[in-house]
Amino acid sequence: MRFTYLLIDIFSVIVPFIFSFHPRLRFYKQWPALLPAMLITGIVFIAWDMYFTRLKIWGFNATYLTGINVGNLPLEEILFFLCIPYSCGFTYACFKLIIKKDMSRRSQLIASSLLIVASVFMALRFYNQAYTCSAFAVLAVLIFVAQYLLKAGWLSKFYITYLYLLLPFLIVNGLLTGTGLKAPVVWYNPEQIVNIRILSIPVEDVFYGMDLILLNITIYSLLSARIYQRNKSRRKTHAMAKYSII
């Protein structure tokens, strides 16, 4: 019973980790870009998590925990910010191979704009609910940066991937919030959420999860592009050096 959260973390990542070494995927070659993205994002979200835990906006049921803590967070919660982004990053990379045709630029722009407007509205409408307001405010900022500042063409694949990820999300977050269990692993202060739930999942979790994965993918994509350009430059320099010797 006290290993429940730990097992949820492990089973969330074990299959993507194993298939990272599949000869057609070779996702492990993406680790130089993915792991720093996970680390940077993890630091941001763990700090956010610690702050909200201190404010008792949410908390954890000791019955389902090993009892090992890092600050005011259980170890399992720290691992969550590594296991889930890894699995989602793996899924995103798979979808990049599978999806051959992106949304049109116009469709992506419309989707991004609608999400930004809706997120700003929700953040302002529920400014008294800390979790609701912050989850939507962060999402508005992240999408604005990706769409309008970075002009990220990969956003359409992210949107499609995240829609697919909602199914495993319902399973994992459902368990964490009490679906199928006698009590939730993670509890929420009802005064800090709008109290609209999908099964046992606060609706805010859907957009908090989107925040988490979008920040990971944004940093991962930037680092991937930088690594690609660096390697391309090295290959060009090597080829020129070889030609000059000949």
pLDDT tens, residue by residue, 1-52: 889 999 999 999 999 999 999 998 899 999 999 999 999 999 999 999 999 9
Q: Could you tell me the residue ranges of all domains in the chain?
A: 4-245
- In 3D space, the residue among 156, 161, 181 whose CA is nearest the CA of residue 88 turns out to be 161
Take residue 163 and report the two structure tokens written for it: 């829609």
Query: Can you tell me the distance from the alpha carbon of 182 to that of 155, in angstroms, rounded to the nearest whole number?
Result: 39
Which residues lie closer than 8 Å to 40 by C-beta, 6 or more apart? 219
pLDDT tens, residue by residue, 207-241: 999 999 999 999 999 999 999 788 776 666 655 55
SS3 category, 111: helix
Which pLDDT score, from 0 to 100, does residue 246 have? 53
- In 3D space, the residue among 163, 176, 161 whose CA is nearest the CA of residue 77 turns out to be 176
The whole-model pTM stands at: 0.92
Which residues lie closer than 8 Å to 231 by C-beta, 6 or more apart? none
pLDDT tens, residue by residue, 49-71: 999 999 999 999 999 999 999 99
pLDDT tens, residue by residue, 174-212: 999 999 899 999 999 999 999 899 999 999 999 999 999
Half-sphere exposure of 115 (CA within 13 A, CB side): 24
Which pLDDT score, from 0 to 100, does residue 1 have? 82
